[in-house]
Amino acid sequence: MKYNLSNKDQLFLQDIWIKVKKKLPLVRERVGSAIPYIAVKHRYTDVGSDHLTWWTNGFWAGLLWQMYHATQDSAYLQAARAIEKRLDAALIQTQQLDHDVGFMWLNAAVADFQLTNDEAARQRGIQAAMVLAARYNPAGHYLLAWNGSEKQGQIIVDCFMNLPLLHWASQQLNEPRFAQMATNHAYTATSALLRADGSVNHIAVFNPETGEFEKNLGGQGYGEDSSWARGQAWAIYGLTLAFRDTQDVKFLLQAKQVAHYFIANVALTDYVSNIDFRAPAEPVYRDTTATAIAICGLLELIKYLPTAQQALYQQAAFKMFTALTKQYCDFDPANDELLTYGSAKYHRASDREVPIIYGDAFYVEALLRFLDLDMTIY
């Protein structure tokens, strides 16, 4: 998609693209087919060796596929496919997998199939969709989020981003039930998670036997009734994708409402999000990953809006991208990370304000979207 950008803005983007194209081949050589999570002392290590079913394990592959699409450098393809094959061992550990199989195999196998038409990649994607579909609770019309008896009946806002896997599988198999599950979950989740002011809850709990809604929980933000920024970002992007896949305008209007809330709040912190928009003023904890995800969501959103409505979202997205780039990016080719100060959750110091691989993945997606070089992963 072409954006309404000034010559100065276009030159800024081209300069960043030059830096990214210089850095990422060196990172690719160092990281290779390892599966990274956070960078420690500027190095991504292989969490896949011990935690092959971890929810973030597809993002490095997704970043590699984006770069292959943009540059046609086959070394990106080779590294991405090596990760995809490693994940085969995770695909059979169904009791260890959760609703985030979408994040894992959309970024790995489905992206591969889109670009190369590889049948083995297609089969991996379909198998992952079957794992996700098995989590469907017909009484409550939702997909169970996490494993464990204490988490039965829980759904989370993140799952909006996994629903495209089911829609893709429905198209591939000419089988409507996968798309029906995804759509039913989207209706259930919006009813339970979205608030009237455009903010969202992270977790909703249902009775797993009757399907009745019971309560909301605080999740990875500051606490109950708070406003976890990454959850807001997942909602912007995920609700927009729900509209794309269902054409129900309700989801588009909800995506706009959440977008307005995010934009209003991030404007108060120089266009880079704190971990939680309703956390106490001190201490200040940033989460750049939420900002990067929101940028991608906003740029997806404007695809479905009339030209006259696009400016607000595009301008906000560009301000966020500029703020991330100027304050929180590491373009040094000697260091593995690209986006710094990412935070997984408010109350855990081990992965708070650190480089996280999905921050890099969504930052690169945002850059490539502005350059009209991106591929569709979700």
* Angle (deg, nearest 10), helices 288-301 and 357-370: 30
Q: How far apart are the two ends of the chain, measured CA to CA in Å?
A: 16
Q: What is the CA radius of gyration of the chain?
A: 19
Instruction: Return left, alpha or beta for 142; rule: phi > 0 is left, psi -120 to 50 is alpha, else beta.
Output: beta
Q: Which uninterrupted H or E stretch holds 312?
A: helix 307-328
Strand 213-217 and strand 203-206: the pairing is antiparallel
Integer Cα distance of 109 and 88 in angstroms: 10
Q: Which residues are known catalytic residues?
A: 100, 158
DSSP E strands: which ranges in 142-232?
142-143, 154-156, 203-206, 213-217
Interacting residues of 128 by C-beta distance below 8 A, sequence separation 6+: 91, 101, 102, 104, 105, 109, 165
DSSP state of 349: G
Phi, psi at 54, each rounded to 5°: -60, 140
